[in-house]
Structure 1
Amino acid sequence: MVNSSRQRCLLAVLAAGALAAGVPSTAGASAPAPVETSGQYIVTGARSAEQRTQVARTGAAIDLLRADGVQVSAIPSEVAAIRRLGFTVSAPLPKPAPQPTRSATSYHTFAETQQEVDAVAAAHPQITRKFVAGKSAQGRDIIGLKISDNVATDENEPEMLVIANIHARERLTAEQALDYIGQLTGGYGTDKRITDLVNEREIYVMPMVNPDGQVYDMTSDTQPGRMWRKNRVGSGTDLNRNFAYKWGCCGGSSTSPSSETYRGTGPESAPETKVIANFVRSRVVGGKQQLKMFLDVHSVAQLVLWPFGYTMNNTVPGSMDADDEAAHRTIGRELAGTNGFTPEQSSDLYITDGTTDDWTWGEYRIFSYTFELGGGSFYPPPSAIDSEVRRSREAMLRLTAYADCPYRAIGKEDKYCAA
């Protein structure tokens, strides 16, 4: 990101040079809009979903819920807009305190994540297969691991997709995905429950779908991270506002490239979004979507969320009927009962648009969830990794089990899942 003061100085130098050469200056007429730098703030008074939506519609990214309001990541113009709404906004919060960049139990880098997936695939060749779903904007592999008993065969089994680290700074999410891989591969053959899940499902895990952003965020010598959220094209696109379903429809994303919730120039304009969407499309076999369950792992609000995010209506004719909503809600509450998170429809937090969950359900009717992990910040100390990922191990397995027939949660498997 270019510092705005440096940009102004550069423009002044260029303009002076042009005048000295006898060339008319166009700096004032054609200069690009200044790039604004994001900071973290506390917004007091935004307690309800409607008030949080007002804040989010300025383009600010809501990071944490507080008893007195919310903590946000926002650029100066968004801070000014929030104040105009009548909310109190704090001075910028200090950056996270410096921590060691490496330790015995530290976060996986992009290279280490690849090595971990390679090692698992080599150690468990009968039930795992590494794949490359596509390339990031800067040419990095977006990798995944398929887990199933006959892994080389595309069997007629319920499929599940787990993605993580779509927001670069949410570093704990990749650890949860890698831990889930470890649960399934480590328990296969010794734990009956896990063995049955692997034998009866085809499970795809993509632990780091925003590798460029993650590498940039993690390259920091003075603090845990750069607080970088988006991808690395220009000022960055929020990949979780860039999906095609209801893209930009409802004030749940920003048109400003500087914003943390910038939705991009169009649906799937970000290469990483396109890679994820193309993978989901590739699972349409014989005209039928094979994926039955989808999970997008985020942090740090300790929530279990389900569609829709673009509307506060619980049901939507033709998109989410009463049984669809009841099954989503029942499963969500059950999962939250195991990890202590708060279960709610995504829009109960605030309105969003162009998100993964809305797209996977709205376009393909894949039962879809978001986990917002805990940890207290985007960079919990490495010593907290194990305890935090343990919280959701049971929820991960229960969600996998429901992939065969989510309507089983409301006792309607005969209506919806009969052979």
Structure 2
Amino acid sequence: MNSARKLCSLLTIPSALALVLAFAPAAAAAPAPDAAAQYVVTGPGTAQQRTEVARTGAAIDDVRTGELSVTAIPAEVRAIRRLGYSVRSAPSAAPAPVETKAATSYHTYAEMRQNVDSVVAAYPQIARQFVAGRSYQGRDIVGVKISDNVAVDENEPEVLIIANIHARERLTAEQALDYIGQLTSGYAGNSRIRNLVNGREIYIMPMVNPDGQVYDMTSDTSAGRMWRKNRQPNSTSTGTDLNRNFAYRWGCCGGSSGSGSSQTYRGTRAESAPETKVIADFVRSRVVGGRQQIKMFLDVHSEAELVLWPFGYTYNNTVPGTMTADDELAHRTIGRELASTNGFTPEQSSDLYITDGTTIDWTWGQYRIFSYTFELGGGSFYPPPSAIDREVQRSREALLRLTDYADCPYRAIGKQAQYCAA
């Protein structure tokens, strides 16, 4: 309502009251009882203590020495305090500096689609767009396949990279789009990139949670809404944490929440979220002739500067029949090599805290796909747009090396003859 219309609407009110109503500041709306906010938790210093915090349902955003940054609802804050830890509100993030496009320097969903359209139009011989499925609200979950002979399903090792599974982790889509650009624009003039593209089939999905991304980005501030989940209604709130909704050890181990209000809500059952099922169905579709073609998987997150590998559901490094000593050593060796190029910390996922129903536990546990999570940097979920180029450049080399290892990850430990002989 504009000011003239507001003044007219007050004419039937006694003048003194009208003046009060016209010029008094509007009362702040009371926060929703299940509204999530960011907090700093002081005290947890071990994986077991961090797991205690995670089991309240709070989402752990970052880990520092003796401190955690978490996103939690009030009930979870009270539960953390009952554990004996100090909880204080996180300082408000400084607003992003005003730039040419402000927060929209990050790709919106529509701009991501335009970017993908442009790439496949410019490089049709090596890039092809595909729609893996649709989100809860009906948006396409798109990806780009990059390979020579891109229209042919060749017998080549495959790589799958997904990003933006958590809506607020805006930088992750930029990393995925940057890698699409790196591979396509570099193909003609860079022999290393050309050899990778010629010898692999690389699938990249930049925004696998498009509803959440759109909701988070269409806010009144450059910082967004701090939205993590998808936008599927549940019995008490909205949204499922897609990275707790996969069908391997789903809900097994206190690594997710059964409360719909929680940031780590696991859903009513495994793959209850449409977006999770789209990703899982795509992975299942790559079983050709009884063999899984995807050999390397990467799920790009932010903002803790980590390289993680399975498992998240158990502290054990090896699991009989599922993660052998050679499997673990190869994961760890590659993870450390990747981290050496971008300056991140390499560790098994559960070294942080227990999680269950995650992407990388499922891709390895179900299909023995070598699997990693990158936690990008930037200092927050919404680093200023001026930081995008700097942050994505940090992981360009790591992405190339991860793609290279798809031919035989056991090559990292010198056992290619044992595991990858034709």
Q: Please, what TM-score do these two structures have when normalized by structure 1?
A: 0.90
Distance in 2 between the 1:370 and 1:104 partners? 25
Distance in 2 between the 1:250 and 1:132 partners? 33
Structure 1 residues not aligned, in runs of 5+ = 1-33
User: How does 1:227-376 map onto structure 2 within 5 Å?
Assistant: 227-234=226-233, 235-376=238-379
Q: Kindly indicate whether residue 216 of structure 2 is the aligned counterpart of residue 213 of structure 1.
A: no
1:269 aligned counterpart, secondary structure: coil
2:151 aligned counterpart, secondary structure: coil
* Deviation sequence 1:354-390 (CA, Å, 0-9, x none): 0000000000000000000000000000000000000
Q: 1:104 to 1:227 in 2, by over 3 A?
A: closer
Q: Any conservation in 1 of the 2:103–2:384 contact (CA below 8 Å)?
A: no
Q: 1:320 to 1:104 in 2, by over 3 A?
A: closer
1:237 aligned counterpart, secondary structure: coil
CA apart distance, 1:65: 1.2
CA apart distance, 1:221: 1.8
Q: Which moved more, 1:244-253 or 1:61-70?
A: 61-70
Q: What is the one-letter code of the residue matched to 1:82?
A: I
Distance in 1 between the 2:369 and 2:310 partners? 10
Q: Kindly indicate whether residue 54 of structure 2 is the aligned counterpart of residue 51 of structure 1.
A: no
2:403 aligned counterpart, secondary structure: helix
Distance in 2 between the 1:198 and 1:64 partners? 34
CA apart distance, 1:197: 0.1
Q: Kindly indicate whether residue 146 of structure 2 is the aligned counterpart of residue 147 of structure 1.
A: yes
2:177 aligned counterpart, secondary structure: helix
Distance in 2 between the 1:391 and 1:72 partners? 25
Distance in 2 between the 1:300 and 1:165 partners? 12
- Which residue pairs with 1:160 in the alignment? 159
CA apart distance, 1:52: 0.5
Structure 2 residues not aligned, in runs of 5+ = 1-31
Q: Kindly indicate whether residue 87 of structure 2 is the aligned counterpart of residue 89 of structure 1.
A: yes
Distance in 1 between the 2:84 and 2:402 partners? 41
Q: Any conservation in 2 of the 1:237–1:263 contact (CA below 8 Å)?
A: yes
Q: Any conservation in 1 of the 2:96–2:102 contact (CA below 8 Å)?
A: no
- Which residue pairs with 2:11 in the alignment? none
The one of 53, 65, 68 equivalent to 1:67 is: 65
Q: Kindly indicate whether residue 189 of structure 2 is the aligned counterpart of residue 186 of structure 1.
A: no
- Which residue pairs with 1:39 in the alignment? 37
Q: What is the one-letter code of the residue matched to 1:143?
A: V
Distance in 2 between the 1:152 and 1:393 partners? 26
Distance in 2 between the 1:66 and 1:74 partners? 17
- Which residue pairs with 2:118 in the alignment? 119
Q: What is the one-letter code of the residue matched to 1:220?
A: S
1:90 aligned counterpart, secondary structure: strand
CA apart distance, 1:41: 0.4
- Which residue pairs with 2:194 in the alignment? 195
Q: Please, what TM-score do these two structures have when normalized by structure 2?
A: 0.90
CA apart distance, 1:104: 9.8
Q: Any conservation in 1 of the 2:33–2:74 contact (CA below 8 Å)?
A: no
Q: What is the one-letter code of the residue matched to 2:46?
A: S
Distance in 1 between the 2:351 and 2:273 partners? 27
CA apart distance, 1:93: 4.0
Q: Any conservation in 1 of the 2:315–2:350 contact (CA below 8 Å)?
A: yes
CA apart distance, 1:35: 5.7
- Which residue pairs with 1:136 in the alignment? 135
Q: Any conservation in 2 of the 1:169–1:227 contact (CA below 8 Å)?
A: yes
* Deviation sequence 1:209-235 (CA, Å, 0-9, x none): 000000000001234200000000121
2:397 aligned counterpart, secondary structure: helix
1:248 aligned counterpart, secondary structure: coil
CA apart distance, 1:404: 0.3
* Deviation sequence 1:187-217 (CA, Å, 0-9, x none): 1021000000000000000000000000000
1:112 aligned counterpart, secondary structure: helix
Sequence identity, in percent? Answer: 76
CA apart distance, 1:160: 0.3
Q: What is the one-letter code of the residue matched to 1:213?
A: G
- Which residue pairs with 1:387 in the alignment? 390
2:379 aligned counterpart, secondary structure: coil
- Which residue pairs with 2:14 in the alignment? none
The one of 407, 412, 415 equivalent to 1:412 is: 415
* Deviation sequence 1:234-283 (CA, Å, 0-9, x none): 21000000000000000000000000000001000000000000000000
* Deviation sequence 1:124-146 (CA, Å, 0-9, x none): 00001100000000000000000
CA apart distance, 1:106: 1.1
Q: What is the one-letter code of the residue matched to 2:60?
A: I
Q: Kindly indicate whether residue 405 of structure 2 is the aligned counterpart of residue 402 of structure 1.
A: yes
Aligned residues: 386
Q: What is the one-letter code of the residue matched to 1:85?
A: L
* Deviation sequence 1:83-141 (CA, Å, 0-9, x none): 00000001354355365482498100000000000100000000011000000000000
Q: Any conservation in 1 of the 2:102–2:222 contact (CA below 8 Å)?
A: no
Q: Any conservation in 2 of the 1:99–1:223 contact (CA below 8 Å)?
A: no
Q: Which moved more, 1:398-407 or 1:222-231?
A: 222-231
CA apart distance, 1:66: 1.9
Q: Any conservation in 2 of the 1:98–1:222 contact (CA below 8 Å)?
A: no
Distance in 2 between the 1:208 and 1:104 partners? 17
